[in-house]
Chain A
Amino acid sequence: MGHIWLAQQPRGAKIEFLTARGDDLPVELYAEAVDEDTSIVPVTHVCFKNGFRSNVREISRIAHANGALVLMDDYQDCGTRPVNVKELDADFYVTGSLKYLLGPSGVAFLYVRKELIPLLEPKISGWFAQRNPFAFDVRHLDLAPSARRFESGTPPIPNIYAASAGIELLREVGLENIAVQIRCPASNRRSPRPGNTD
Chain B
Amino acid sequence: MGPLVVLQSGNVEAIIERLAAENVICSGRHDGLRISFHVHNTRNGVGTVLELLKKNRKLMEPGANAA
Contacts and interface: CB of A to CB of B under 8 A. Distances in A.
Contact of B2 (A46, A102, A181, A185): A46
A47 interface: yes
Interface of B: 1-6, 29-30, 32, 34, 36-39, 41-43, 45-46, 50
A185 B30 contact: no
B1 A185 contact: no
Nearest to A50: B6
B54 to A, nearest CB: 12
A186 B39 contact: no
Given A47-B2, A49-B6, A51-B6, A186 B32 contact: no
Contact of B1 (A102, A184, A190): A190
14 contacts: A47-B2, A48-B29, A49-B6, A51-B2, A76-B2, A76-B3, A80-B38, A177-B39, A182-B41, A184-B43, A185-B43, A186-B2, A186-B5, A190-B1
Quick one: which of A79, A177, A186 has the most chain B CB within 10 A?
A186
Quick one: which of A76, A170, A190 has the most chain B CB within 10 A?
A76
Nearest to A175: B39
Nearest to A78: B3
Q: Secondary structure at chain A's binding surface: helix, strand, loop or mixed?
A: loop
A178 interface: yes
B5 A190 contact: yes
A38 B29 CA distance: 30
A182 B39 contact: yes
A16 B1 CA distance: 25
Contacts of B29: 48-49
B39 A198 contact: no
Contact of A185 (B6, B34, B42): B42
A53 B2 contact: yes
A173 B5 CA distance: 23
Contacts of A19: none
